[in-house]
Amino acid sequence: MASSRTEGSRKSKAGDPVANRQKQLEAFTQGPENQLTTNQGVPLPDNHNSLKAGVRGPGLLEDFILREKLTHFDHERIPERVVYARGAAAHGYFELTRPLVEYTKADFLQEHGSRTPVFVRFSTVIGARGSADTVRDVRGFAVKFYTREGNYDLVGNNMPVFFIQDAMKFPDLVHAIKPEPHHDMPQASSAHDTFWDFISLMPESAHMLMWLMSDRALPRSYRMMEGFGVHTFRFVNARGASHFVKFHWRPKLGKHALAWDEAQKIAGKDPDFHRRDLWEAIDRGDFPEWELGVQLIEEERVDKLGVDLLDATKLVPEEIVPITPVGRLVLNRNPDSYFAEAEQVAFNPGHIVPGIDFSNDPLLQGRLFSYLDTQISRLGGPNFHELPINRGVCPMHNLQRGGMHRMTIARGRVAYEPNTLGNGSEFRVDGGEQGFQSLEEAIESPKIRRRSPSFDDHFSQATLFWNSQSAAEKEHIIAAFQFELSRVETPAIRQRIVDNLAHVDARLARKVAEPLGIGPPDARSAAGRAGFREPRAKPLLEAAPSLSMETNGTTIATRKVAVLMAAGVELGAFKVIQQALVDAGATVKVVAAHLGFIVSSSGQQVPIDHSFQTMPSVMFDAVLVPGGAASAQALMKDGEAVHFVLEAYKHCKPLCLIGESVEILRSVGVALDDAPVPGGVIIGTNEPTTRVQLGQDLIAAIARHRHWSRAMVEQVPA
């Protein structure tokens, strides 16, 4: 084990900091060995048999080898995170593309092209460690930058706002949304009475609820979601001048969602869907990438913004303060050990570096206490910063000593300051210009336990979000509210929610109420309740297009396309389209009734990647069914194949049906002969002159991701 005193000194400035960080971790890494020892290094004689009094006799207490093995096993688990328990993580780097010298003195934001090693953990919030990835939930997006001036953690979410304004309410929120305490159900779901009871009495959560009921809560992939610092932070430059700053991560692959029905099915078919997706992408060299952008806000502008920057239930629309791109985040290495890295990593929004500071956001201020505190019980003591994944790359030394699992061997008799016995001369740390300087702020206020009246506007940004959604996105939000509230057993809670929603949008509230067996929304009843504040007359903007996920096209890199076939398939068009998809970066997999090979109409053998049983349509982004009468007929007779196509249709995925395979869709009454063909459905023949065009059409359809306004989705059984 390397000594902490020699690790990652500032000399790394000369070398490659990302490679140096990896070297630092390697000092703690062990490869597989072909010899076993005890933890004390004694070679094992046998790893199958315990020590007994005779081969059929009782075990002996003396068996230190068995006792050590079982004892370690008995203690292999640590408490899971109280929230954000389930996650996936990866190593990578942050590269600065736009130095921020005039705004911040943070070392890692100074030099164009400088690279800072990072470790990033994505997570769901509500579910236990063993829950499913694709549940409706907020996603954590936590980034640890190993900078030369200490570790900086940007511990954010995939949504830019939060449920509550003050840390005082966090335990209530979490108790309400977690499984109900009497029977510990439901797992990883907000669709139950206690959550909606609490939320119906907390109008400040109206904006976040809109995000949670939107497709943002169903990301297609961790690689395809945005990240946000949520709170306002401060940048401080070398002259001590400060700007407010909000952080944004924008995925290079675009932001995309799953369909709700699909998300639920994936939760059963592959609960590790997002974790696997991240792992496999990195493993095959498709390194996920995000752009870091900042919204910079001058102190003088704060009062004119129309948003209180300290209120975490509000965002600053980028249509009002544009986002300046400053760097890129690349994830290029999977962890070696999930436990040692993803589980033991300890994030903390209080890990900041000179040049960055906090704002007075009362939610953030509470977080500054909570994270260090939680790691102590989760990681078993105060020395978790010495775990390899949490170690900084710069020297770390202070006078803290002892504590469980202390690893550093601090020399000498002196663990106090000032002293003269340490290095032979007087050592004293005086306040001065060096080190982290908190931004000086004049505060003269009464001590007070109350909310700022500037936090009162609870609905105008919920309305802005609603107004910014496309028609299809609005339908998804309505359906999500209906789903969640249909699971709520207490009618009065359902009623309170729709009454509140009437202050976001009257049509939204009416539509949500329709299937709930309650009265129409009553805005006045909501207005009469404690905690309610009259909405501002008008949102800041009519609509903010940046809040919608609808897209006219992005890259199709790393999207997965299923090709369905059976014996007698015609390969002509398939081969051309397959090549075009692969050239555009997509993955193409042949799925059939069985593994092995399929013999085509021209006698060629086509290897099969997956069977229908193990790879259903929900594992893919698009479906291609080549022509060939025999193949199409066999698929039509196979319930799993038909279901595959119909389900992909229902989930609004691009479909390319060639020749006779068109019949699969026609058989359920989808109108294909009269124009227009449903969105994202491409119909073609095996005709050689049209093959290139078919490939291009399919690529354009995949680039739009989902065709949410596709016709007849409700009627199609799947």
Q: Which of 374/709 has CB closer to ligand HDE?
A: 374
Compute the least distance from the CB of residue 94 to ligand HDE, in Å: 17
Q: Cα(393)–Cα(20) distance, rounded to whole angstroms? A: 8
Q: Which of 142/508 has CB closer to ligand HDE?
A: 142
Q: Which of 345/615 has CB closer to ligand HDE?
A: 345
The answer to whether 532 and 522 have CB atoms below 8 angstroms apart is no
Q: Which structure tokens are listed for 713? A: 């989705």
Q: Which of 140/695 has CB closer to ligand HDE?
A: 140
The answer to whether 118 and 94 have CB atoms below 8 angstroms apart is yes
Give the three-state DSSP class for 329: strand
Compute the least distance from the CB of residue 392 to ligand HDE, in Å: 17
Q: Which of 348/631 has CB closer to ligand HDE?
A: 348
Binding mask 61-100 for ligand HDE (x = CB under 6 A): --------------------xxxx--x-------------
Q: Which structure tokens are listed for 660? A: 């006779």
Among positions 422-461, residues that touch ligand HDE (CB under 6 A) are none
Q: Which of 161/508 has CB closer to ligand HDE?
A: 161
Q: Cα(120)–Cα(91) distance, rounded to whole angstroms? A: 6
Q: Which structure tokens are listed for 418? A: 């000032």
Q: Which of 20, 116, 157, 158 binds ligand HDE (CB under 6 A)?
A: 157
* Eight-class DSSP state of 521: P
Binding of residue 123 to ligand HDE (CB under 6 A): yes
Compute the least distance from the CB of residue 119 to ligand HDE, in Å: 10
The answer to whether 289 and 329 have CB atoms below 8 angstroms apart is yes
* Eight-class DSSP state of 327: E
Q: Is the dihedral of CA 305, 306, 308, 311 positive or negative?
A: negative
Strand (E) or helix (H) holding 482? helix 471-486
Burial class (CB in 10 A: 0-12, 13-18, 19+), 71: exposed
3-state helix, strand, coil in the chain (%, to 5): 35, 15, 50
Give the closest residue to 683 by CA, choosing from 667, 694, 692, 674. 694
Q: Which of 152, 162, 196, 358 binds ligand HDE (CB under 6 A)?
A: 162
Q: Cα(626)–Cα(640) distance, rounded to whole angstroms? A: 17
Binding of residue 155 to ligand HDE (CB under 6 A): yes
Among positions 274-293, residues that touch ligand HDE (CB under 6 A) are none
Total residues interacting with ligand HDE, rule: CB under 6 A: 25
Binding of residue 316 to ligand HDE (CB under 6 A): no
φ, ψ (nearest 5 deg) of residue 623: -130, 135
Q: Which of 142/213 has CB closer to ligand HDE?
A: 142
Q: Which of 167, 394, 658, 698 binds ligand HDE (CB under 6 A)?
A: 167
φ, ψ (nearest 5 deg) of residue 318: -65, -15
Single-letter amino acid, residue 25: L
Compute the least distance from the CB of residue 702 to ligand HDE, in Å: 30
Compute the least distance from the CB of residue 124 to ligand HDE, in Å: 10
User: Closest residue (Cβ) to ligand HDE?
Assistant: 140
Among positions 207-236, residues that touch ligand HDE (CB under 6 A) are 230
Give the closest residue to 121 by CA, choosing from 146, 85, 174. 85
DSSP string for residues in 342-388: IIT----TT---TTEEE---HHHHHHHHHHHHHHHHHTTSTTGGGSG
Compute the least distance from the CB of residue 164 to ligand HDE, in Å: 7
Binding mask 613-632 for ligand HDE (x = CB under 6 A): --------------------
Q: Which of 170/287 has CB closer to ligand HDE?
A: 170
Binding of residue 388 to ligand HDE (CB under 6 A): no
Compute the least distance from the CB of residue 362 to ligand HDE, in Å: 8
Binding of residue 156 to ligand HDE (CB under 6 A): yes
Q: Which of 21, 86, 121, 265 binds ligand HDE (CB under 6 A)?
A: 121
**What does R_g of the chain's alpha carbons equal in angstroms?**
29
Compute the least distance from the CB of residue 476 to ligand HDE, in Å: 23
Among positions 326-385, residues that touch ligand HDE (CB under 6 A) are 347, 363, 366-367, 370-371, 374-375
Q: Cα(292)–Cα(296) distance, rounded to whole angstroms? A: 13
Q: Which of 144/650 has CB closer to ligand HDE?
A: 144
Compute the least distance from the CB of residue 157 to ligand HDE, in Å: 4
Q: Which of 28/170 has CB closer to ligand HDE?
A: 170
Q: Is the dihedral of CA 424, 425, 428, 433 positive or negative?
A: negative
Query: Where do contacts with ligand HDE occur on this chain (CB under 6 A)?
Result: 81-84, 87, 121, 123, 140, 142, 155-157, 162, 167, 170, 230, 312, 347, 363, 366-367, 370-371, 374-375
